[in-house]
A and B are shown apart, each in its own frame.
Chain A
Amino acid sequence: MTHIQRLPSYLGIGLVYAYRYTLGVLFPGGCKYHPSCSQYAIDALREYGLVRGVILAGWRLLRCNPWSLGGVDYAHQQRLFK
């Protein structure tokens, strides 16, 4: 993919970084997974583009709930999009 084609996902990555340094600081918390949800979102956006990246990140956030077990879960291990 060229940089121009990747532009939308760069926007998403920028938003995640913006979150990290604003709301992420004001509402401190952890994450049950490795890598953390925000890092997962950045990886997913980078590897799968904006649309699929957002879906993957959203699904990860839903899994990062009090009833899940957490664990190691990298974006490239996803099985939603083949």
Chain B
Amino acid sequence: MILLSILTPLEDLLRNILEWLHGSVGLPWAWAIVALTVMVRLLMVPLAVKQIHSMQAMQSHMPEMKAIQQRYKHDKQKRNEELMKFYRDNRVNPAAPCLPLLVQFPVFIALYLVLRQFSRHPPAGSLSWFGGLVPDITAHANAHWSGYLLLAIYVGSQLASTYFMSTTMDKTQRTMMMILPVAFVPVIVRFPVGLVIYWVTTNLWTVGQGIVTRQMMPKAQPPPKRSSRTPPKSEQPSSDGSAEATEEKAEAQPSQPKRVRRKKKKARR
């Protein structure tokens, strides 16, 4: 409860912004929530830009990173450690930091409190969305069939945003992150529809940002064809050390002559 009272200023701020969006800008309440979500995410865009730059800088280090991933293929712990060390040494870290994520939680909880307040003391103006398709955005999501439609969209958007956000995770963790949101549906069903609107909007924003980020990346070189060259599995453990050393060289070398050639072409023009 102390935690909730700490959030009171933020709650007031969000309510004021919503009231301004509804009263002065003239948006229906549901669209005001969408607009508020977009505003929150716009504030976080500089952080995303920082990460995109970092990811772009990382592209030139791809061969070395692949080598590390290959070397510690079977030791998740060690692989992670070496990758993080590599990022730090080269001053590029494509992983998302935790702190901005933490900023989102208070906003989310404060919005929940605002909407709960709305459902107790309904504000003036229509609480419906899409001309009555969603009758009341302060009601629980399970109060009307449209709530279930919204929940389905939410789950889809959640899975898509997890897909874009969890690029640094390993497969098992990623699978768990994809399954759990579905398990949460029975809980989310009791959340106000407005909160689900916030969630869907912020997830879709994440997806959009992820797509834009991927398009801004220089096209990744096709992965080296390994299948024909890799020795059969029984041989792998014995030739570990030497095979990897040559692999690293083989991957690092072709990139350098290419770069030189490119420079020459530019000079001629």
Contacts and interface: CB of A to CB of B under 8 A. Distances in A.
Interface string A60-82: 01101111111110000000000
A64 B88 CA distance: 13
A4 interface: no
Given A31-B97, A70-B95, A72-B85, A25 B80 contact: no
Interface of A: 21-23, 25-37, 61-62, 64-72
A33 B83 CA distance: 10
For the complex of A and B, the 10 pairs showing the least CB-CB separation, nearest first, are A71-B88, A34-B84, A64-B98, A30-B95, A28-B165, A25-B180, A30-B168, A30-B96, A70-B93, A37-B98
B43 interface: no
Is chain B's interface secondary structure helix, strand, loop, or mixed overall? helix
Contacts of B87: 32, 69-71
B104 A27 contact: yes
A49 to B, nearest CB: 22
Contacts of A66: 47, 50-51, 97, 99-100
Interface in B163-217: 165-169, 176-177, 180-181, 184, 199
Contacts of B119: none
Contacts of A28: 161-162, 165-166, 177
Given A64-B97, A70-B93, A25 B177 contact: yes
B96 A29 contact: yes
